[in-house]
Chain A
Amino acid sequence: MARNVTTRHKITATVAAWIVALIIFFPILYTIITSIKTEPEAIAGFSLWPSGTFENYITVQTQRDYLKPFMNSVILSVGSTILALIIAIPSAWAMAFSPTKRTKDILMWMLSTKMMPAVAVLVPIYLLFRDFGLLDSRIGLTVMLTLINLPIVVWMLYTYFREIPGEILEAARMDGAGLWQEIVYVLTPMAVPGIASTLLLNIILAWNESFWTIRLSTTNAAPLTAFIASFSSPQGLFWAKLSAASTMAIAPILILGWFSQKQLVRGLTFGAVK
């Protein structure tokens, strides 16, 4: 390490970086602080010292049944991600290990479906959901989120599977292993980390999806995105309670997100930046 880093340089950079980080994080921090204020405190002007009440969290549950949209969010995001994985794993597998001339075209085409603006198909999807009785149903929304995220799931898995060395496969084949044996005994152990990363990122994406979940649900299937959006009306809750609901809505995914920073770059750039 020939670059000599002076302590002074490091301290300057540290101070600057922390100031930037705290400014960017501030709205989230302030939401958490406001969630443990009383309502009068919440609108009493800037203060970072709350009285520390947890009443808002209880009120959000008792008055607005917070647990229901929360469970819907869990069911929709986990359900759609697992469904997408079940469909995508074989595809990504075949593309990574038995590529043909057309594999690249298929991958690019899958990516192109992601470019379709959601709003362009709002009308037909809405009418189809209405006619099939899928409006405000968990099944309908799960299918929707599965389809939306399927291209990303296939792509992410493909970029992970592609890194598994082909020689291992050949060795297994020489030892007489069939395709299924290959998959179960040789490659699955090597593929698990990639699958786990894909799972994590897609739960995050599905949890935060805010177009279809708001438009295709009303009460029964409404996840947290629709629940929070309903607070935009003036009759909604007050700030401290809104903050409590918001904190609970973002906390689980924030923690998952911190664990998936690296996969985020890879997944969202379709492997273009690693």
Chain B
Amino acid sequence: MATQNTKTLARLMMAPSVLLLLVWMIVPLAMTLWFSFQNYNLLDPSNVSFTGLFNYQFFYTDPAFFQSIWNTLVIVGGVLLITVIGGIAIALLLDQPIFGQGIVRILIISPFFVMPPVAALVWKNMIMNPSYGVFADISKFFGLRPIDWFAQYPLFSIVIIVAWQWLPFATLILLTALQSLDGEQKEAAEMDGANFLNRFIYLVVPHLARSITVVILIQTIFLLGVYAEILVTTNGGPGYASTNLAFLIYRTALLGYDVGGASAGGIIAVVLANIVAFFLMRAVGKNLDR
């Protein structure tokens, strides 16, 4: 039984991390909220005044805002679609008995460990470059005209790069879940004459549902903030064609020096992230009770 003494000690042990995270969460967020109601430009820092909701209105009426929201949704949705469907397919494949399973796993998981600037630059230069890239070589081999990926399909190109980085994550988690599926259940279903499709729909999918939810939610958190991949490839362009909300805020803050406007955008990003977080916390929280 824990004595009063150990309880106090336990509290002391928890204090540093709780206090640090509390400060880390409250101070910057409060500052962002405060700045979002101010007319504050870094080029004219002596002239700061209260403007109420002007920054929000300004951000809201900026055509780049809706484009960036749309682009954010396309990146999140596109990457999720590719990684979840691809992840399920590859996980099912790896769940079969195969020769060299260990090496195959290592090869497939590798992109996840590649830092975003490297991933983006390798794809931009060596794979997607319209003159010398591998895709261009393939097009030429078939006598087709190479595609200028980042000029013609900037957003789609970024979706491909980011999906390549996250496909291993989805695959690994779904494979882990798949391997925990009871072998006897599979056998029973097989003996009852269920074919592959039936086993997949009635046995595998319900078993994977939870993991798929976790994959979707965790990836969404990270995908809402895709940044380095855009910075080193398109820099948000052409125009605003590949600017997501995170990149627009960066642009407003550090290239436009508009502290107030960027802060208003930041608050909008927090609201968006919180909607996702709400569902993620419920999914993870359920697991704690077991």
Query: Which of B7-15, B57-65, B73-81 forms part of the interface with chain A?
Result: B7-15
* B237 sits at the interface (CB 8 A): no
Query: B157-213: which residues lie under 8 A (CB-CB) from chain A?
Result: 164, 167-169, 172-173, 176-177, 183, 186-187, 190, 210-211
Other-chain contact of A43, B104, B109, B132 (Cβ < 8 Å): B132
Closest chain B CB from A249 CB (angstroms): 6
Cβ of A3 and Cβ of B121 under 8 Å apart? no
Q: Mark A241-261, 1 if CB is under 8 A from B, else 0.
A: 011001001100110111001
- Interface secondary structure of B, over-half rule: helix
Interface size class of B (residues with CB under 8 A): 35 or more
Cβ of A210 and Cβ of B117 under 8 Å apart? yes
The residue in chain A whose Cβ has the minimal distance to the Cβ of B232 is A232
List, in ascending order, chain B residues with CB within 8 A of A5's CB: 97
Cβ of B232 and Cβ of A229 under 8 Å apart? yes
* A122 sits at the interface (CB 8 A): yes
Pair count A-B, CB < 8 A: 310
Closest chain A CB from B7 CB (angstroms): 6
Query: B231-258: which residues lie under 8 A (CB-CB) from chain A?
Result: 231-233, 235, 245-246, 249-250, 253-254
With known contacts A14-B100, A268-B169, A111–B177 Cβ distance under 8 A: no
Other-chain contact of A115, B131, B167, B187, B277 (Cβ < 8 Å): B277
List, in ascending order, chain A residues with CB within 8 A of B103's CB: 21
Other-chain contact of B113, A21, A228, A254 (Cβ < 8 Å): A254
Closest chain A CB from B111 CB (angstroms): 6
Complex CA gap A45/B16 in Å reads: 56
* A70 sits at the interface (CB 8 A): no
Cβ of B115 and Cβ of A207 under 8 Å apart? yes
* B98 sits at the interface (CB 8 A): yes
Closest chain B CB from A135 CB (angstroms): 12
A residues with CB within 8 A of B: 2-3, 5, 9-11, 13-14, 16-18, 20-22, 24-25, 27-28, 30-31, 34, 42-43, 45-46, 87-88, 90-91, 93-95, 97-98, 100, 104, 106-108, 110-128, 147, 150-151, 154, 179, 204, 207-208, 210-211, 214-215, 224-225, 228-229, 231-232, 239, 242-243, 246, 249-250, 253-254, 256-258, 261, 264-265, 268-274
**Sample of 28 A–B contacts (CB below 8 Å):** A2-B187, A3-B183, A11-B99, A30-B134, A31-B118, A43-B132, A91-B14, A104-B288, A106-B14, A107-B288, A108-B285, A116-B25, A120-B267, A122-B250, A123-B259, A126-B254, A147-B20, A147-B21, A154-B17, A232-B124, A239-B126, A239-B132, A242-B121, A243-B126, A246-B122, A253-B115, A254-B113, A269-B284
B residues with CB within 8 A of A: 2, 6-7, 9-11, 13-14, 16-18, 20-21, 24-25, 27-29, 31-32, 35, 90, 93-94, 96-101, 103-127, 131-132, 134, 137-138, 164, 167-169, 172-173, 176-177, 183, 186-187, 190, 210-211, 214, 218, 221, 224-225, 227-228, 231-233, 235, 245-246, 249-250, 253-254, 259, 262-263, 266-267, 269-270, 272-274, 276-277, 280-281, 283-285, 287-288
